[in-house]
Amino acid sequence: MYRINIKARAKINISLDVIGKREDGYHDVKMIMQTINLYDKINIKKIRKDEIKIQTNLSFLPVDERNLVYKVIKYLKEKYKIKTGVFVDLYKVIPVAAGLAGGSSDAAATLVGMNKLFNLRMSMNEMMEIGTMFGADIPYCLLRGTALSEGIGEKLTSLGRFPDAYVVIAKPGINVSTGFVYGNLDLSSIDVRPDTDKIIEGIDKGDLHQICNNMGNILETVTIKKYPVINEIKDYMMENGAIGSLMTGSGPSVFGILEDKHKAYNLAHKLKVNNIAKFVYTTTIFNS
């Protein structure tokens, strides 16, 4: 085998709670994660010259050591003394720095692709451990599906099957850094927290309404304060057919959950033509 194609899917946070701040500056979290069918395409190819070369459709995305795909390949080449060169064609669809874990998912897909291409025989656990070194959400991006994520994101428990639904993603034209949002989180001021157990119960019952009625993301307290447009998008989604709407991760993307395909495409169309969000995408829940 000399080349491999992999899909790197985005995630949304059905809930996001922060338990406390750790001594290393990271935060202990309790989040319900869900993979969606919005994905980047990654083509990894062996090349003769011993180098790492990345090509991407996004002109502003670094293709050097700052790119997570590059970092993972460099690490694996050193660890497994791989002398063959690696060329990657990274076709980005997931918006960057959007709370959708695009970079983390690319890194996870690269671990899986390199494992197959070079027959490295890494177990899922080994890949997750390596992934954690490069980003807290990478272990989940390897696991995929519906999961409870704890610790800084490395303690994962698979949950039952999420009910089938349509997901409309809307990202306003602003960029938010994850570090900034966690750094400005004031845990003493949080009075409303998501009911994680109620959501898990809803997943077990296959009750989309119970899930949607209990969603919550405490990072909204930081990001929405700075960018009120996020709340406007949430309200717009709820007024236009969504049964639940929330900011994902550290933001600024917002997702809406709908049962009806027609209503989902209609909501996305309205978000676009009324210029409410810059990037709008309609997709579905991914269950592995």
Annotated catalytic residue, options 17, 106, 137, 171 = 137
Residue 137 bears catalytic tag: yes
Nearest residue to 249 (alpha-carbon basis) of 94, 80, 43, 100: 100
Residue 102 within binding range of ligand ADP, rule CB under 6 A: yes
Burial class from Cβ neighbours inside 10 Å (0-12, 13-18, 19+) for residue 219 reads buried
Q: How many alpha carbons fall within 13 Å on the CB side of residue 197? A: 0
Q: Does the footprint of ligand ADP cover residue 101 (CB under 6 A)?
A: yes
CA distance linking residue 9 with residue 108, whole number of Å: 10
Question: How is residue 287 annotated by DSSP?
Answer: -
Distance of closest approach, residue 28 Cβ to ligand SUD, in angstroms: 7
> In this chain, which of 6, 9, 14, 27 binds ligand SUD, going by CB under 6 A?
27
Number of residues that make up the chain? 288
Q: Is 148 annotated as ligand-binding?
A: no
DSSP string, 145-204: SEEEEEETTTEEEE--PPPP-EEEEEE-S----HHHHHHT--GGG------HHHHHHHHH
Residues 135-194 within binding reach of ligand ADP (CB under 6 A): 178
Query: Which span (25-33, 92-100, 200-208, 217-225) binds ligand ADP, by CB under 6 A?
Result: 92-100
In angstroms, rounded to a whole number, what is the distance separating the alpha carbons of residues 160 and 204?
Answer: 6
Binding status of residue 139 toward ligand SUD by CB under 6 A = no
Site string for ligand ADP, 52-81 (x = CB under 6 A): ---------x----xxxx------------
Q: Which of 270, 217, 273 is nearest to 244 (CA)?
A: 217
Our finding on whether 182 is near ligand SUD (CB under 6 A) is: yes
Q: Determine the interface stretch with ligand SUD among 27-35, 40-48, 156-164, 224-232 (rule: CB under 6 A).
A: 27-35
Site for ligand SUD contains 136 (CB under 6 A)? yes
Q: Which is nearer to ligand SUD, 149 or 240 (CB)?
A: 149
Q: Which of 12, 18, 103, 170 binds ligand ADP (CB under 6 A)?
A: 103
Residue 109 is assigned to a ligand binding site: no
Q: Is 11 exposed, middle or buried (0-12, 13-18, 19+ CB in 10 A)?
A: buried
Which 3 state secondary structure label does DSSP give 143? helix
Instruction: Tell me whether residue 104 is annotated as binding.
Output: yes
User: How big, in percent rounded to 5, are the helix, strand and coil portions of the chain?
Assistant: 35, 30, 35
CA distance 281 to 100: 12
Q: Is 101 or 117 the residue whose CB approaches ligand ADP more closely?
A: 101
20 is in an annotated binding site: no
How far, in Å, are 104, 107, 111, 264 from residue 67 at the CA level? 10, 9, 14, 33
Helix (H/G/I), strand (E/B), else coil: 218: coil
Do the annotations mark residue 59 as ligand-binding? Answer: no
Report the residue from 249, 256, 280, 286 that binds ligand ADP according to the rule CB under 6 A. 249
83 is catalytic: no
Q: Is 102 annotated as a binding residue?
A: yes
Which spans of this chain sit near ligand ADP (rule: CB under 6 A)? 61, 66-69, 96-104, 106, 178, 249-250
| Annotated binding-site members | 95-105
> What are the residue numbers of the active site?
11, 137
Which spans of this chain sit near ligand SUD (rule: CB under 6 A)? 13, 16, 25-27, 29, 31, 99, 101, 104, 135-137, 152-153, 178-179, 182, 249-250
